[in-house]
Each structure stands twice: as C-alpha cells, then as structure tokens.
Structure 1
Amino acid sequence: MKWGIIDFHCDALSKLQENPNIRFEEDERLDVSAKKLRQGGVGLQCFAVFIDDEQEKARIGRVLEQISLYRTEVEKAGIPLITSRQELASLNAAGGGTGGMLSLEGAHGLEGNLKYVQNCYDLGVRFLGITWNHANWAADGIMEPRGGGFTQKGLELIKLCHELGIILDVSHLSLKGFWELTEAAEKAGKPFIASHSNSINICDHPRNLSDEQIRTIVRLGGRIGLTFVPPFVKASGPVKMTDLLPHLEHMCSLGAENHLMFGSDFDGIDEHIEGLENAACYVKWKELLLKYYAEPLVDKWLSLNAMRFLQTWLPATKKAL
C-alpha cells in the first residue's frame, strides 16, 4: 500500500489539555501516541479539537490552546500538520511517515463569532463538526430533545466554511440539521463527511446513520468514517472486531464502497472493541479485513478512499498567514 492507514477522528488533544503531564511521543494513557501511530502503520491521523459543550470552558481560548498543543506536542514528536494538497504530496514524496490534520468538533467553542472560523482556518483547521451532542449557537446536536436544525447564524457558518474550504462533518448533527446541510451542500456543489458514525440499520443508536443519510453522503461524493465506539457497533455485550463487518457490508450494499474510511474515536472512548484498543491495533484490524476481503478493497477503506477525497477537497497550497 502506497499510503499508510488514515484515521479521521481521535481526541488525543483534549486528553493532552486535561493532563499536562502526558507526553504525546509515548504515554500509555493515550490511545493515540506517536509510537502507537507508527506501530499501527497510520500515515495520517485527524486530531479533533474537542471541548465539552456543557462546560463553561467551551471558549475560543481552549480551542486555541489545543491547536497550540498540536504544535508543541504532536509536531514535536515528528508528525507534521497537513493543511493542503501540496503538503500531502510532500509527505508522500518524503517516504510517507505520519502526518496529522486538525478538525474542530463542535462550533460551540467559536462563541458565535464567525471571525474565529477564519482564525482557525489560518491555524490549520480543515474540518468542522457543527455540533457535539447538544445544541449550540449554530445548530442542534443529535441528542438535543427538540431536534431543531440550523440557526440563521449557523446557515452563515455553512456558507463561510464552503467559501474557505473547511469541510463540514455531520457526525453528532441533528437529523433536521443533516437535511438542511444537504440542501446547502447541493447548492454549493460541496460534499461533507461523517467522520465517526456507523449504520443505524445494523446498530440502532442515534449517533449512527440511516440508509437515506448514507446514500446522500455517497451521492454528494462525501465520506463516512466507520467508528470503533462499542455502543455504535453493537447494542450490548462484548464487542469484537468482526462485529464491525456487518456495518461495512451494509454500507457497501448502499453504494458506499468507494466512500468508506475509518474514524476510530480513540481517546474519546472509555471502552474499546476487543483487539482495537489503540492506534497500534490497526495492524490487527488490517489483518482481519484481509481474511474476508481482497486487498484492493481493503486498501480503499484503510486509505485510498480518504486520500482521494483529500486530494480533491483540501486547498491546493497553504495560504501564507
């Protein structure tokens, strides 16, 4: 495989923020560390900037602090920040290695100030999950009881992200919000992703995607990151790696073969799939997939689908600050 594995979601930065004594290079308290990424053959890891939307500290200062932690901890450990197609090509030309990307998980930390969106883009953020589970100034999350969609300012946020080139992420977004974003994306000719969600047809959890949502993401040319969160994989009992396969199969039956990738949610979960406890376990996950599927198909899911998306939708070059 030319490219290493690509994972579209982890929460290591928030762990680093909450535990200043953790070092990213190698720490057993992290599911995702530099050492484990190398051991797992991960070529590109997306790091979420996550702040609990129920906390008073959901403020731009904490967002900026996590972005700074990427520079001081993750890049220091030899994982450069990838913000453009040019940097992606340079990483490959240098012989691979491991790179990182930045996403913002929930717009609540932006405090309703659209100028902060530009600031985050300038600092390297390329993906934005509009909500976490609850409501914020932009839209309702999937766990918000009223099930609302976007606010007027939230619709302005969509437009701005489309203009800047920030890719929107519907994992955690309300159903109404999903369909409102679909309408806006169709008009703009822009795809969106679900960075860490599974199939609700296989596991009936509100964080998973319906068949209609899956078909819509496929139709728009987006991507779906199957996730390793046990309750999103199986309703009860111990969850094994093979329990993820029905999600793969079902999404492929809906036309998603070329649109699937993975978004582990490592460091954002307290329980793990047996055998998939951290980034180093991607070796075992690949071995298992190869027992059931041909290598070209496995390569698509582990890296090529995500890579083709990035080569299309990341900006061509990094803009000078």
Structure 2
Amino acid sequence: MPQIAYLGPPGTFTEQATRLLTKGFDAELVPYETVPMALAAVRAGDVLAAGVPVENSVEGSVPATLDALTTGEPLVAVQEAVLPVQFDLLGKPGTALTEIGTVASHPHALAQVRGWLAANLPDARTQATSSTAAAAAAAAAGEFDAAISAPVALEYYPSLERLAGELADVRDAVTRFLLVRRPGVPPEPTGADRTSVCAVISDEVGTLTEMLAELSLRGINISRIESRPLRDRFGEYRFFLDFDGHVADARIGDALTALRRRCSVVRFLGSYPKADRSPASVRPSASEQAFQSAAKWLEDLRAGRLA
C-alpha cells in the first residue's frame, strides 16, 4: 500500500488535515517527527507525498515548512486544506480545573488559548512540547496534569477525557495545510487555483516593487507575501508569494517568466485548487482570450500580415 507522510505524532491537526487531503485515496498515513523529516522522506521516495502545515491565521506561517520547501531538491504542492482550529483540554478522568497545575502543548496552540488559560487556569504553569499530540501523550503518562490538544487525540489516548472543549481565543482561527510531492505535471486548472513560489531578489533599491509590479501589471491577485532570511547571506531574503491562478494560465505563465528574468532564484512551489474553491477574479485585459488575441496579433506582425 502506498504511504503518505505527515507531521506527527498521531493525534495532531496535521493528521486530521492529511486524512482530508488524501480522502478517497487508499494509502497508509505515516507520522514523522518533524516537517523536514517528512519532506526528506518524500524526496527520498520513501513516501508518495506529505501533509504539512504552512500557515495559521493567528500565529502566521510555519517557518519549518517554508525553510524545508526551499532547501534540497524541489517539491511541489498539489492540494491544500484549511481546518478550523479549536482545541480540547485533555486530562485524567474526573480532574477538576482547580486541580490542574501544569498544562502542556505546542507553542502555537498555547498562544491560541492564552486568554482562555488566563481566565480559567490562572495559576497553571504551561510547558511547550513538540506537538499537541506529544502533550497529550505526556499527560496520559502523568508528566503533566493536562494537555491542550486536537480533538482527534482522544482516539489515541483513551485514558484521557475532555475536560473542556472548543477552546480558541479567536473563534474563527484556521490553519492551512499542503499536500506536497515530488515534481510532476501539476493538477489540471479548475478556475479556482492558487500558485505558490519562492523568489530571491537582489539587495537593491526598488527590486521588491519591481517584482510585485510584474504581478500587478498582469492583474494577478497576491493573497500572501512573506519574507524569510537567507541563512548563509545576511541581509538577503527569500520572498514567499501565493497568488490566484494556475501555471497553465497565460497571465500566470507570463508573470513567472518575468520573475525568472528579474530574480536571482525562483522556485516554483506548485499550482493547486484552493481549499475554498473561490474563483479567481480576472480583469478583461488579463483573460486567456486577451492573451491569445495579443499573441496572434504579434504573430501576424512578424509574418507581415498587417490589418
């Protein structure tokens, strides 16, 4: 049976998202301790793909994922999922909130329930763990009084019970996940797609503006832009961009070639259907028909056919 990696251990939101990303595909889900390890397994051919978190609406991007996608052999995203993020407080059955002195979870999770903890467990000491599931495992082992965890963790730690549920300081918080595989033909365009790239630009005045102008001139909507420093070159940055459209679209292809001319490095990170399936808004001058008409006009000019 084919295998799909995900950021483990079992019982995390990433497992829940990877289940959704691979729904209808018969595969064994295999947990890996870190995002780099999961993506390394994809690169090595040990697994077909990996489900990894990329962005949280409260805490921002997941640096481990961004860094791992831009070092090593290329990988591309082929699908995304967006999950609402609400946590459970898990502990031994019968534990009262007043009896909880220690609470463990992943730092992102603790940050997203900071207000709830202050209001309901003001004297409890928090402890960061590598994942929400690791916190649940530690609570089951008696290392902590309680854990802030994904609801799915109860499937793996039946010795715990839900002491409080639907915890989130921001009620509509979500996390975005990607299914990543080795390069191949991208999924067919749907009209509701997202393209992700990473670009490195020179440290000169106006280069970022010029890069963004290449997208703006083609009527491309940028849904996300973020910078990460290059580890080996102080003062230089990678820019991660998500924008509406598919690499098969004329305006996207034209913009990518322009970025390739302007930037010292451009890494294509995939074109894939958006989780919410919202169609891209394309102005008439950037439509497929407009690009085809302009290309035909240029072809006629070069052939001496003037109208």
* Structure 1 and Structure 2 fold alike (TM over 0.5): no
- Greater gyration radius: 2
Bigger proportion of residues as helix: 1
TM-score by length of 1: 0.29
Structure-2-length-normalised TM-score: 0.30
